[in-house]
Every structure is written in structure tokens, then in C-alpha cells.
Structure 1
Amino acid sequence: MTSLTLVRRIAARPSIVFAALTEPDGIACWWGPDAGPVLLAETDVRVGGRFKVRFRMLDGSEHQSEGEYLEVDEPRRLVMSWCWTTGGEPEENGAVSRVEIDLKPIETGTELTFTHAMLANEASRASHEEGWTGALGKLVRHFASEETDDEA
């Protein structure tokens, strides 16, 4: 089993970032590795609650992930199981992994530490790293553009 960890600084308070991670309207702003749309976002944010997100990439392919919330400590920490139900790498079909997101307040907003663990192999880690890098980049840009809009 392998894992990846990404750290990003986001220009918004942890409570605002937490909402973007857990509310369907917020998820629609950043989920997915490229500029393709989120087609479905369902969340039941409580321990034992479930989430489902479906998105279309610019190449037309659709991907859907589902999982269960394992820890919910708003606005500091979110842990969930993760499973591709459509798309993803072929060897990942039915494989369950774990996503941990920690939010720490910093002077400029939030430091987000994102860990995707229990990945099956190096190919899965590399694929997820590419996907999450794109998605988290969109999340950072979303709040950077809101900050710019607020200053206008």
C-alpha cells in the first residue's frame, strides 16, 4: 500500500474551506482534475454518512467516486473512505482507500494537508497525485479569484 500527501495554502478561513469540501455547491467549484463539470455531488456530512461525486473531464470521460465519512471535526479535519465506482485506473475497481484532509488556520487563510492513503500501487498513487493536484489547484484558484473579486 502506498500514499501521497499534498499541502496547499488557501486564501480563506478553515470554516469556508471546510464548506467547500463538504457542500455540493462548493464541491462543484473544484472537484476533478481539469475544467470539466461536476455532474453530481451528494453529501451527508456526519460519521457514517456517505458522499458521491460524479464529474466529466474535458476528454468526455466520466468518473464517479463514493465513500463514507469516517471522521468529521469541522472545521479542522475530514476523513473519508474512497472508492471509484466509474472511471479511475482499472486495477482500482472496487478498491477502497482513505482520504484525510487537515485544515490549519494560518495568517493568509488555511493550510490544507491532503493525504490519500491505502492506494494499491505506484501507478494508482501517480494517477491520484495528478488528479488531486489538478483539483486542489482549482480549489486554491477559486478562493484566490474570490479574494480578487472582493477587492474590486
Structure 2
Amino acid sequence: MASRALADNELLIERTFAAPARLVFDMWADRSHFMRWLGPVGFTCTAAELDFREGGDWSATMVSDQYGESRMAGRYLEIEPGRRIVMTFRWVHDASHPETVITLIFTERDGKTVQLFHQTPFRDVASRDSHIGGWSEAFDRELAYAEGVTQEPLP
């Protein structure tokens, strides 16, 4: 993905976490983790169902005072434990957006994890660009959450 130019209907965001790949992967696979970081600033994830297996469905609801309720859903297409997730994504509350495919790749480097997030196809550049801010803010929250989890004392 990173070795070619992106098309206008693609989004690629990379984040580096001071956490093991397994934890960053689990933050997408485990409902209790997922709900703690999903959503841009000002949003709270109020519900999530993750049937985390190939062919399983997932859904989540986020709420904000400014925008109200936003519901999303999809299906898991491919799962490589600790390394890769491919899943569909659609806005349940807004059918004007096409279903997209999200590919997540988790790579450990020098004791840290690089999360590569790719999403496509968007209906147009404006739609793609509107997702950049939302996902970037969500990933900032994911990063803060991961750092908090890795600093918790061991039992």
C-alpha cells in the first residue's frame, strides 16, 4: 500500500504506538478496548458488537452533543491474529456513503507498533477528506488509551 500513490478515493493513515502489536490489534478485536477509544473528539462510543471472526459482523454507535447519534457497521473479511484485519465499513444512518473496505496492518518495530490504516473506496474526495479528521482524532484517542493500558501495573 505505502509503495504506490494513493487514488483520490483512498485514505491511508499511519500511527506508531509505544505498545506491543498484540495490544494494538486487540484494541480493534475486543469490545471493551474498542469502545474506550472509538470516535473523534466530542464523541462517546455508547454501543459496540464485535463478532470477531472471518465472516462475523460488527457494529458501533457513537454519540456527540453537536452531531447526535452516528451508527456504523460492517463485516470481518480477513483476520490474521496480531497482524492484520480486513473489514467492511458503512454508515448505517447515511446510505449516501458507499460501503468501504478497511485494511489494518500492525507491525512491531523497535519495541513499538506501527498501525497502518487504509480505507477505500470513497464516493469522492470531499467524502474521503471528511474522514481524515474523524479517524485521525479517533487514532489520537486510541494512542492515548494504548499508552494508559501499557502503563497499568501488572497484577
Instruction: Settle same-fold status: TM greater than 0.5.
Output: yes
SS of alignment partner, residue 141 of structure 1:
helix
- Structure 1 distance, partners of 2:41, 2:75, is 24
Structure 1: stretches of 5+ with no match in the other structure: none
- Structure 2 distance, partners of 1:52, 1:91, is 18
Q: CA deviation at 1:68?
A: 0.5
1:139 paired residue number? 142
2:23 counterpart of 1:16:
yes
| Aligned pairs (5 A) from 1:71-150 | 71-86=78-93, 91-92=96-97, 95-150=98-153
Q: CA deviation at 1:105?
A: 0.7
Contact 2:23/2:146 (CA < 8 Å) preserved in 1?
Answer: no
SS of alignment partner, residue 91 of structure 1:
coil
Contact 1:33/1:57 (CA < 8 Å) preserved in 2?
Answer: no
Contact 1:6/1:113 (CA < 8 Å) preserved in 2?
Answer: yes
Query: Deviation string for 1:77-136 (max 9, x for gaps)?
Result: 00101110025xx731xx211111000011232100001111111111011111100101
- Structure 1 distance, partners of 2:44, 2:79, is 26
Q: CA deviation at 1:33?
A: 0.8
Q: CA deviation at 1:145?
A: 2.9
- Structure 2 distance, partners of 1:59, 1:108, is 39
1:25 paired residue number? 32
State the superposition RMSD in angstroms. 1.8
Structure 2: stretches of 5+ with no match in the other structure: 1-7
Change (3 A) 1:34 1:109: same
Instruction: Give the percent of matched residue pairs that are identical in Structure 1 and Structure 2.
Output: 24
- Structure 2 distance, partners of 1:145, 1:15, is 15
Aligned residues: 147
Contact 1:72/1:79 (CA < 8 Å) preserved in 2?
Answer: yes
Q: CA deviation at 1:144?
A: 2.3
How high is the TM-score relative to the length of structure 1?
0.89
